[in-house]
Structure 1
Amino acid sequence: MESGRQQVREFFGARAAGWETRFPDDTPVYRAAVAELGLRPGGRALDAGCGTARALPLLRAAVGASGLVVGADLTPEMLHEAVRLGRSRDGALIETDSARLPSRDSVFDAVLAAGLVHHLPEPAAGLRELARVTRTGGRLALFHPLGRAALARRRGHELRADDIRAAPRIGSLLAETGWLLTLLDDSDERYLALAVRQD
């Protein structure tokens, strides 16, 4: 699966500069997704596959100065763009594969994974890794600022029935990897699969 990781790195590396200028109005829907995580002051949050770390200021606002915020991404160019945008002030930025995190077990209260799950070469392994670093009862938000149908229309593609994010596939995959799906919103306005870490 190393070739899959390299493809992801190359795809996003080539698009990192100016990434957010293509999607300038996404912050409010990111803010709503972060709110769904139920973070409190002093909490610990991971932005897995953080890209340009658009969510880091929102996660920092949720956990406050005493909390921990980490952004992890496979693509160095995306992390350089995050630093250029000043996002390193809001949390630690780590270049790493979200399926192989350099973290102890049960560290985080919540994980935001925006646009990540369908880019994972091995989605089950990636979700197991996110479960490993999340405490029991912690939350995971698999998120995209557009729903699957709206995203397919934007890209001129057909909506695929075998999409890993589709119901009931995502619920089954989450259950197999240590999560319980509690909310699935696949409207035009957003994609949000919210799950709770099980024992």
Structure 2
Amino acid sequence: MSPSTPPTSPYAAELARIREFFAARAAGWDARFPDDGPRYAAAIAGLGLRAGDSVLDAGCGTGRALPLLRAAVGPEGRVLGADVTPEMLHEADARHPGTGTLLLADCARLPLPDATLDAVFAAGLISHLPDPARTLRELARVSRPGATLTLFHPIGRAALAARHGRELTPGDLRAEPNLRPLLTAAGWRLDSYTDTEDQYLVRAGRR
């Protein structure tokens, strides 16, 4: 590094690590989890989306949720998919062309005006964020009062930990006692919390 090159911030370094992790796995990502489709469909069916709504798939990855979101808001609705990894967006565009507008963007820094969205859907996002509080504040900024936020994973916390060969700890960000104050501070109201073997589903409303 030359004297004129600024040091990389911890945030930027972590974002680069996340991008590298998913870039290497993008092409085969959906094949690793072929049975998750019905759980995505059930989670999105419960969003309460209406025809004409604007919805963001935050951390959209390969775009598995995009066709479901498009069906929920209809042709007159607006579907956006944002992800920080170009390779993931390439897969989303190839697999689900025309279902939504794809944004290469950090979800903590979205190229959207204030109070734009009626709903945000985020599958597997919260545990892959360099700064979760910052991202939740940004999602609140681009959401209208009364908008909904859904944090989803097709398996629960315990099952996911077992899949990765680790144990749950009290400091797990996704645990309700840790997540509730984080959401509140960011401008969200925690409305429901579900963490079972086959689903992690949190719904919050924009205050």
**Other-structure match for 1:172:** 181
From 120, 136, 142, give the equivalent of 2:145: 136
The 3-state SS of whatever aligns with 1:4 is helix
From 39, 43, 53, give the equivalent of 1:33: 43
**98-107 vs 25-34, which moves further:** 25-34
**Other-structure match for 1:6:** 16
**Other-structure match for 1:61:** 71
Distance 1:181 1:32 in 2: 20
Would you say 1:149 and 2:158 are equivalent positions?
A: yes
Could you list the structure 1 runs, at least 4 aligned residues long, displaced by more than 3 angstroms after superposition. none
Q: Tell me how large the CA RMSD over aligned residues is.
A: 0.7
Matched-pair identity in %? 58
Paired letter, 1:159: L
**Other-structure match for 1:105:** 114
Pairing 1:79-98 to 2, within 5 Å after superposition: 79-85=89-95, 87-98=96-107
Distance 1:140 1:29 in 2: 17
Shift of 1:88: 3.0
Structure 2: which 5+ runs fail to align?
1-10
Aligned length: 197
Distance 1:64 1:82 in 2: 19
- Residue deviations 1:8-59 (CA, integer Å, cap 9, x gap): 1001011101100110111111111112221000111000000001000000
Shift of 1:83: 1.5
Would you say 1:187 and 2:188 are equivalent positions?
A: no
Would you say 1:52 and 2:62 are equivalent positions?
A: yes
The 3-state SS of whatever aligns with 1:25 is coil
**30-39 vs 48-57, which moves further:** 30-39
Structure of larger gyration radius:
2
Rate the CA distance shift 1:120–1:7 in 2: closer, same or farther, 3 A.
Answer: same
Paired letter, 1:166: A
TM-score between the two structures when normalised by the length of structure 1: 0.97
Distance 2:22 2:169 in 1: 22
From 93, 115, 121, give the equivalent of 2:124: 115
Distance 1:160 1:193 in 2: 19
- Residue deviations 1:146-198 (CA, integer Å, cap 9, x gap): 10001111111111221110011111110010000011101011111110000
